[in-house]
Amino acid sequence: MAWTDEVIRAARPGPASTVGISEGPSLLIAGPTGTGKTHQAYGAIRALLTARVRLRWEAVTAADLYARLRPRSGHDTERDLQSLARSPLLLLDDLGAAKNSEWTEELTYRLINHRYDHLLPTLITTNLPIAELRAALGDRVASRLAEMTERVILTGPDRRRQRST
Ligand SMILES: Nc1ncnc2c1ncn2[C@@H]1O[C@H](COP(=O)(O)OP(=O)(O)OP(=O)(O)O)[C@@H](O)[C@H]1O
Ligand SMILES: [Mg+2]
Protein backbone atom coordinates (compact mmCIF):
# COMPACT_ATOMS: atom_id res chain seq x y z
CA MET A 1 0.00 0.00 0.00
CA ALA A 2 1.33 3.46 -0.86
CA TRP A 3 0.51 4.65 2.65
CA THR A 4 2.77 2.07 4.33
CA ASP A 5 5.62 3.07 2.01
CA GLU A 6 5.18 6.70 3.02
CA VAL A 7 5.12 5.87 6.71
CA ILE A 8 8.29 3.83 6.30
CA ARG A 9 9.92 6.71 4.43
CA ALA A 10 9.05 9.08 7.30
CA ALA A 11 10.58 6.68 9.81
CA ARG A 12 13.87 7.22 11.58
CA PRO A 13 16.54 4.64 12.34
CA GLY A 14 16.01 2.75 15.58
CA PRO A 15 17.97 0.11 17.49
CA ALA A 16 19.09 -3.15 15.84
CA SER A 17 18.18 -2.33 12.22
CA THR A 18 14.65 -1.39 13.15
CA VAL A 19 13.05 1.96 12.42
CA GLY A 20 10.82 4.06 14.61
CA ILE A 21 7.98 6.39 13.75
CA SER A 22 7.41 9.86 15.05
CA GLU A 23 5.47 11.68 12.37
CA GLY A 24 3.77 10.44 9.26
CA PRO A 25 0.78 10.49 6.98
CA SER A 26 -2.69 9.31 7.94
CA LEU A 27 -5.13 7.27 5.94
CA LEU A 28 -8.91 7.21 5.70
CA ILE A 29 -10.41 4.01 4.34
CA ALA A 30 -14.05 4.49 3.37
CA GLY A 31 -16.62 2.20 1.79
CA PRO A 32 -19.79 0.24 2.48
CA THR A 33 -20.10 -2.61 4.99
CA GLY A 34 -18.07 -5.71 4.32
CA THR A 35 -15.83 -4.30 1.61
CA GLY A 36 -12.69 -5.10 3.62
CA LYS A 37 -11.80 -1.81 5.33
CA THR A 38 -10.85 -3.31 8.68
CA HIS A 39 -9.01 -6.12 6.88
CA GLN A 40 -6.97 -3.56 4.88
CA ALA A 41 -6.22 -1.46 7.94
CA TYR A 42 -4.78 -4.40 9.89
CA GLY A 43 -2.95 -5.44 6.72
CA ALA A 44 -1.27 -2.03 6.64
CA ILE A 45 -0.20 -2.36 10.29
CA ARG A 46 1.13 -5.85 9.61
CA ALA A 47 3.08 -4.54 6.62
CA LEU A 48 4.75 -1.94 8.83
CA LEU A 49 5.73 -4.52 11.43
CA THR A 50 7.04 -6.79 8.69
CA ALA A 51 9.14 -3.90 7.37
CA ARG A 52 10.86 -3.79 10.79
CA VAL A 53 9.06 -0.66 11.87
CA ARG A 54 8.88 -0.95 15.64
CA LEU A 55 6.18 1.11 17.25
CA ARG A 56 3.45 0.99 19.83
CA TRP A 57 0.11 0.72 18.09
CA GLU A 58 -3.43 0.58 19.29
CA ALA A 59 -6.66 -0.28 17.57
CA VAL A 60 -10.13 0.62 18.76
CA THR A 61 -13.55 0.89 17.19
CA ALA A 62 -15.26 4.23 17.66
CA ALA A 63 -18.08 2.49 19.52
CA ASP A 64 -15.64 0.87 21.98
CA LEU A 65 -13.83 4.15 22.35
CA TYR A 66 -16.97 5.93 23.51
CA ALA A 67 -17.89 3.05 25.81
CA ARG A 68 -14.42 2.97 27.32
CA LEU A 69 -14.25 6.70 27.87
CA ARG A 70 -17.68 7.19 29.36
CA PRO A 71 -17.09 8.90 32.72
CA ARG A 72 -17.42 6.49 35.62
CA SER A 73 -16.31 6.67 39.20
CA GLY A 74 -12.97 5.20 40.18
CA HIS A 75 -11.65 5.25 36.65
CA ASP A 76 -9.38 7.81 35.04
CA THR A 77 -10.93 8.00 31.59
CA GLU A 78 -8.92 11.12 30.82
CA ARG A 79 -5.78 9.02 31.01
CA ASP A 80 -7.26 6.45 28.63
CA LEU A 81 -8.01 9.20 26.14
CA GLN A 82 -4.46 10.56 26.39
CA SER A 83 -3.00 7.10 25.92
CA LEU A 84 -4.94 6.58 22.69
CA ALA A 85 -4.34 10.14 21.49
CA ARG A 86 -0.57 9.73 21.96
CA SER A 87 -0.22 6.23 20.58
CA PRO A 88 2.46 6.36 17.85
CA LEU A 89 0.05 4.55 15.53
CA LEU A 90 -3.70 4.38 16.01
CA LEU A 91 -6.40 2.52 14.13
CA LEU A 92 -9.78 4.13 14.72
CA ASP A 93 -12.16 1.63 13.22
CA ASP A 94 -15.74 2.33 12.14
CA LEU A 95 -15.76 6.05 12.76
CA GLY A 96 -19.21 7.55 12.29
CA ALA A 97 -21.02 4.25 12.82
CA ALA A 98 -22.02 4.93 16.42
CA LYS A 99 -24.80 7.34 17.31
CA ASN A 100 -23.45 10.85 17.52
CA SER A 101 -23.96 13.20 20.40
CA GLU A 102 -22.31 16.41 21.50
CA TRP A 103 -20.22 14.31 23.86
CA THR A 104 -19.01 11.83 21.20
CA GLU A 105 -18.30 14.70 18.84
CA GLU A 106 -16.19 16.47 21.44
CA LEU A 107 -14.30 13.31 22.30
CA THR A 108 -13.63 12.52 18.65
CA TYR A 109 -12.48 16.07 18.18
CA ARG A 110 -10.01 15.91 21.05
CA LEU A 111 -8.59 12.61 19.82
CA ILE A 112 -8.30 13.66 16.18
CA ASN A 113 -7.04 17.13 17.03
CA HIS A 114 -4.17 15.76 19.10
CA ARG A 115 -3.13 13.47 16.27
CA TYR A 116 -3.54 16.29 13.75
CA ASP A 117 -1.40 18.70 15.79
CA HIS A 118 1.37 16.15 16.30
CA LEU A 119 1.23 14.57 12.82
CA LEU A 120 0.74 11.13 14.33
CA PRO A 121 -0.01 8.40 11.77
CA THR A 122 -3.65 7.42 12.12
CA LEU A 123 -5.68 4.84 10.23
CA ILE A 124 -9.39 5.54 10.13
CA THR A 125 -12.11 3.42 8.60
CA THR A 126 -15.67 4.56 8.02
CA ASN A 127 -18.88 3.37 6.43
CA LEU A 128 -19.84 6.93 5.69
CA PRO A 129 -19.61 8.34 2.17
CA ILE A 130 -16.99 11.11 2.12
CA ALA A 131 -19.72 13.66 1.40
CA GLU A 132 -21.45 12.78 4.67
CA LEU A 133 -18.41 13.00 6.96
CA ARG A 134 -18.98 16.64 7.77
CA ALA A 135 -22.61 16.21 8.78
CA ALA A 136 -21.88 13.08 10.81
CA LEU A 137 -18.64 14.06 12.58
CA GLY A 138 -18.95 17.83 12.77
CA ASP A 139 -17.03 20.53 10.94
CA ARG A 140 -13.96 20.56 13.14
CA VAL A 141 -13.28 16.82 12.86
CA ALA A 142 -14.12 16.62 9.15
CA SER A 143 -11.93 19.60 8.34
CA ARG A 144 -8.91 18.09 10.11
CA LEU A 145 -9.46 14.69 8.50
CA ALA A 146 -9.66 16.35 5.09
CA GLU A 147 -6.25 17.89 5.61
CA MET A 148 -4.43 15.10 7.41
CA THR A 149 -5.60 11.98 5.56
CA GLU A 150 -5.22 10.41 2.19
CA ARG A 151 -8.33 8.59 1.10
CA VAL A 152 -8.93 5.11 -0.16
CA ILE A 153 -12.47 4.21 -1.17
CA LEU A 154 -13.27 0.51 -1.22
CA THR A 155 -16.13 -0.69 -3.38
CA GLY A 156 -17.68 -4.02 -4.19
CA PRO A 157 -20.08 -6.48 -2.61
CA ASP A 158 -20.30 -7.34 1.08
CA ARG A 159 -17.66 -10.05 1.41
CA ARG A 160 -19.44 -11.51 4.43
CA ARG A 161 -22.61 -12.16 2.44
CA GLN A 162 -20.67 -13.45 -0.53
CA ARG A 163 -19.13 -16.14 1.59
CA SER A 164 -22.42 -17.40 3.02
CA THR A 165 -24.07 -17.88 -0.38
N1 LIG B 1 -8.81 -9.01 0.66
C2 LIG B 1 -9.53 -9.92 1.34
N3 LIG B 1 -9.36 -11.24 1.11
C4 LIG B 1 -10.08 -12.14 1.78
N5 LIG B 1 -11.02 -11.86 2.70
C6 LIG B 1 -11.25 -10.58 2.96
C7 LIG B 1 -10.51 -9.54 2.29
N8 LIG B 1 -10.95 -8.34 2.75
C9 LIG B 1 -11.90 -8.64 3.67
N10 LIG B 1 -12.07 -9.97 3.80
C11 LIG B 1 -13.04 -10.62 4.68
O12 LIG B 1 -14.31 -10.05 4.41
C13 LIG B 1 -15.03 -9.81 5.61
C14 LIG B 1 -15.34 -8.30 5.71
O15 LIG B 1 -14.14 -7.56 5.82
P16 LIG B 1 -13.98 -6.35 6.83
O17 LIG B 1 -14.46 -6.76 8.19
O18 LIG B 1 -12.59 -5.86 6.69
O19 LIG B 1 -15.01 -5.32 6.19
P20 LIG B 1 -15.33 -3.84 6.64
O21 LIG B 1 -15.31 -3.02 5.41
O22 LIG B 1 -14.45 -3.45 7.75
O23 LIG B 1 -16.83 -3.98 7.13
P24 LIG B 1 -17.62 -3.07 8.20
O25 LIG B 1 -17.91 -1.78 7.50
O26 LIG B 1 -18.89 -3.83 8.45
O27 LIG B 1 -16.76 -2.92 9.39
C28 LIG B 1 -14.15 -10.30 6.74
O29 LIG B 1 -14.57 -11.60 7.09
C30 LIG B 1 -12.77 -10.31 6.12
O31 LIG B 1 -11.95 -11.27 6.73
MG1 LIG C 1 -14.80 -2.94 9.71
Q: How far apart are CA 51 and CA 165, in angstroms?
A: 37
Q: Which atom of ligand 1 is nearest to the CA of 42?
A: 18
What is the pLDDT, as a whole number, of residue 95? Answer: 97
CA-closest residue to ligand 1 atom 9: 36
> Is 16 part of any domain?
no
CA-closest residue to ligand 1 atom 14: 34
What's 148's domain CATH number? 3.40.50.300
> Is 17 part of any domain?
no
> Is 99 part of any domain?
yes
Task: Give me the number of domains the chain comprises.
Answer: 1
Q: Which of 35, 39, 92 to mutate to test the pocket of ligand 1 (most atoms within 8 A of CB)?
A: 39
Q: How far apart are CA 47 and CA 57, in angstroms?
A: 13
> Is 51 part of any domain?
yes
Residue 121 has pLDDT above 90, yes or no: yes
> Is 5 part of any domain?
no
Residue 84 has pLDDT above 90, yes or no: yes
What is the pLDDT, as a whole number, of residue 153? Answer: 96
> Is 20 part of any domain?
no
3-state secondary structure of 19: strand
Residue 163 has pLDDT above 80, yes or no: no
Distance 63 CA to ligand 2 centre (A): 12
- The pTM assigned to this predicted structure is 0.92
- Write down the mean pLDDT value for the chain: 92
Residue 21 has pLDDT above 80, yes or no: no
What is the pLDDT, as a whole number, of residue 22? Answer: 78
> Is 76 part of any domain?
yes
Backbone angles phi, psi at 91, to 5 degrees: -105, 115
> Is 13 part of any domain?
no
Domain with 101, as residue range(s), is 26-156
CA-closest residue to ligand 1 atom 27: 33
